[in-house]
Structure 1
Amino acid sequence: MISAALRRALTEPGDPVLRPLPDQVVAMLETLHAPPRLAAHLRAVHDVAAQLTDAVAQRFAQLPVDRSAVLFGAATHDIGKVRHREELSGPGSAHEPAGYDLLLRQGVDPSLARFARTHASWQRDDIGVDDLLVSVADKVWKGKRVTDLEDLLVDRLAEATGRERWSAFLDLDDVLDRIAADADSRLAFQATHPVGDLDG
């Protein structure tokens, strides 16, 4: 049975309003008895990924992006913290391979499960645009800007559009500034949901 605390994390609107997670992800989080804090975090990053992909599609229409894959990746990137709950409130990367394996066991295609492994490994040579977008969403949701990561995305944007790199940078910077402006609200939303399984 789903706890009231998890239900709240999955359904409370937030301010500004956060999009709901995909039904498939909600079902997995319920089945796995995910910590409410994790569900709240996944909602925040998923919402930011939706804003980011919408803005990229509008400003960089030539960039090939699989929006549904990015949204699924953002909605599940930290699901391995179901198994490594200590990483909800502390550092660690054990949740990354654990999340990938967990998603495979839940019947998720490897092409979608990969985001659990790649969201913190954006320095690798084989990382694609969709992976970079999930990684950026996982940083900017809390207002964090990571220059090396954003530079990789700018390179892809400039290459896809044929625009000067500085022009692509300015456009992306504007998008990320706008998204980061709501970081405090998203952090406050996440903080209202418990790390543990407390009901009530």
Structure 2
Amino acid sequence: MREKIIIILVILLSLNQTIKVYAQLKSSEIIQGPFKIDLYPDGKIYIEQNNDEISTGGCPTTLLILEYQKNNQIKKETIDEYYEDGACVKIASIFFSKIHNKEYVFVMQKWEQNMPAINIYDNSYDTIAYTKNKDGKLCIDLNISKDHNLSEIDGTVADGKKVHYKYKTAAVIKKYLEQKYQ
């Protein structure tokens, strides 16, 4: 009888741990931030990964979230969603900068692609700029985001050619932005 009770307890404990692990895999989690954002009073911005919504490629949904107070209520808005592109997206950096005395949020995405069968070993980068529009909403600044220097490949591409992207860090991009847009 005592052995049966011990076995049942062991099964219940292991089942409890399995449920906890499954629940952790199914939940959303903040993977970067939160960071205070001067564009909104008492506002913060962060990257959230939603493991509930796995894409067809097996990648979790990655979101840029803004939280702020308005009329004594906390508002939570999804500003952008980042997608897989041959690999799951990783957020390499979030940083802030002023351009023409206007506050900006920058999000650098990165995809690590290693495909030995076709000789591709590269990291793809894309940095997106966000600021408030004339309606006071945080949105993509297309003029800056389409700057060809903010999106590139670093590594070996299909024809074996080596490509080197020099804007892989927030510090280097900030310096570039200061030179080009000030």
TM-score by length of 2: 0.28
More strand by percentage: 2
Name the one with the larger helix percent: 1
Query: Larger Rg: 1 or 2?
Result: 2
Structure number with the bigger relative contact order (C-alpha 8 A, sep ≥ 6) is 1
